[in-house]
Structure 1
Amino acid sequence: MKKIILPVVAAVFLSLGAVFLVYRGIPQEDQAFKTSEKIDFYIMSSKKIIGFERTDKGVNKRSEDKVKLGEQTATHNLQPDSKNNHFFLFEDFTPGPFPSGPQTVVSLDIEKGSLSKAEYPEGPITGAGFDGKFYYPMTSQPGGGSVHKYDKSKTLKKQFRFPDKADNVMPAAASDGKYLYVLNNVTNEGDEYTRNHLVTFDTKNLEKVDERLIANASPKIANSEGFMDLKLIRNKFYLTNRGNRLKSNPYEPTPQDKLVILDKDSLARKEVSLGQNEPHKIAVSNDEKTLAISHANDGFAPSMIISFYDIDTQKISHLELKESFMENNSTEDMLINIDFDREGKVWILTWKNLLVYDLVKEEKIFGLDLEKYDLEYAHLLALKK
């Protein structure tokens, strides 16, 4: 492996490993849970899934079912993906000091009340795409990564393997239905530095149709920008950049606070400073006008700050999840995932809390202490759309 890519890959794997907890004999059979037209959202932990109805005064619990996911296995470094009320949630790698395959993924269909698990033998999954019909897990390996196409029944349909002369780290993907766009941090044989590429695949056959270099913001950067998430909205790509490496010191990452916006056709680049370092996962409002961006969290320094970006006005705002917003003021809390409902309200899940927030009025609507429902260390908020 090249001397520059080694710390990059190690940093990605160690970052992932920091939030991957112990694997404990997880069953692979499908599991069922109750559904109802009155249920507006579900919260799932490793032990149970509870359905709630939204009311004027808060919520009513409508269902509760036991699930078997293993204890505290979900990773929150990788964004749960969803479309048409179908959710995918990453789980952990097998035990060991470094991530290794196989890895499992939970598939949750809240329309059918079905929960299933798929084991992906290819190795560490560092990113994925989902277009509502097919799921595209991506593995990052020294000496060739790979992209795979699975249907909802967990059947492998297609796969693409990069040449074994290249090291690949693929953190995220986006799809417009016809094409899958993959972020790839790659080092080809003989390269001095890593490069950030956007690779385009035909989703039908998973054939590579294009691969383009994402130009750096400065010639001082050693082409090792830490892109973490990717969203495609109309004709623009939105990427979070948590850090880069300078040619003058390529072994030490420099934290960044950038949202990077790329033109879909030309990859012309614009950067927005969010005012908070290490942006990570992106959630998109239903009208595709607002981005909610979490910031890097791990087991050592969890971040409880969310940045909001208005695409039309380019306005940036922040929400710090202070004690006054939380029903459970635990010091061991962590931001898990963010979503928007049909009215544009922001739904925020942490290990110990659910918070619903009005971004326009800048006020809390309601909250839940998940410990009261035995849902602490929650894995997923599944909001019905």
Structure 2
Amino acid sequence: MSTADQVLAVNDDLPIRTNKPVHSGKVRSVYWLTEDDSKRLIQEKGYDVASDAPLAIMVISDRISAFDCIWHAEGGLKGVPGKGAALNAISNHWFDLFKKNNLADSHILDIPHPFVWIVQKAKPVMIEAICRNYITGSMWRAYEKGEREFCGIELPEGLEKDKVLPELLITPSTKGILKGIPGVPEADDVNISRKNIEENFSAFNFTKAEDINKYETLLKEGFGVISKALAEVDQTFVDTKFEFGYVNDAAGNEKLIYMDEVGTPDSSRIWDTKEYQAGNIVENSKEGFRQFLLNHFPDPDILLNKERMPEREALARDNALPHEALMDISRTYISIAEKITGNAIHLSENPKQEIIDVLRNDYGLID
């Protein structure tokens, strides 16, 4: 069997029973279950949600997205072997740890297969909640240019690249294009301040103003739990992105929960602690792949400049990367997942068929 066969690159063509279009994101695809199937599963499996809550099947893929494009390699390799299983295993591990520490719930109700989550529909908070413990990446680039205000936060003089910040900073950005918010450009992924959120909390989908404090608390608590656990396996949690949303439980109470993935190499920077202490940055996250791309192409501005998006899309579409580039990230993802979870990540021989079998036999979702 070739490596390419073990990769789940296309994940929006599964024969799962649905009466809505399949939503395919950069990495995950979402299948909304019919009302009947949602009700049946809630009853059969005893999920702690309202009896009429809409449920969905989320299927992760092995696709690799960087700089808002999907990349592929020579030899028909359309993704990174083991990446999907590694990401889900890491997220599942952190969500379990959050439960043990009495943090908020997540939107995940069940995990039928290493590639699959059953989730409840949540009302998303329209914020990419970013938490930073070290100054690096876009924050360092802005600081180096002389900017001292970041997301409404005044940064002190004298900070050094890749060094720990005086305190954990929350630097939110917009999730999707939000219209009609004073002082917030109508574009995805725009930095915003706490003041922007306070003055327009309902535009960001917060139910009430007090929930801004709640989301910041959940962000810091989640960051703290992951950071402590990573330190125990000699890894440094540099920064990360969380997403939040609202759901109702079986009793009808609305609650703020964690959504999407948490603490993964796709949504975080994770450094090898011993290497860092020796003065080297060794990335155990997607950042290493981003750096590879910046060095691989002669004009890195295409990857960094949002004005050049059509050129960037062409670059990703027309260039098969060296096979080794994706195998390298495969090793990084599998290795960090095994360190975090303490369990081996197994590469499936035929992930698509396995998913079909389990959803047909154990959940009755495939005819």
Task: State the TM-score, normalized to the length of structure 1.
Answer: 0.29
Q: Per residue, is there more helix in 1 or in 2?
A: 2
Q: Per residue, is there more strand in 1 or in 2?
A: 1
Task: State the TM-score, normalized to the length of structure 2.
Answer: 0.30
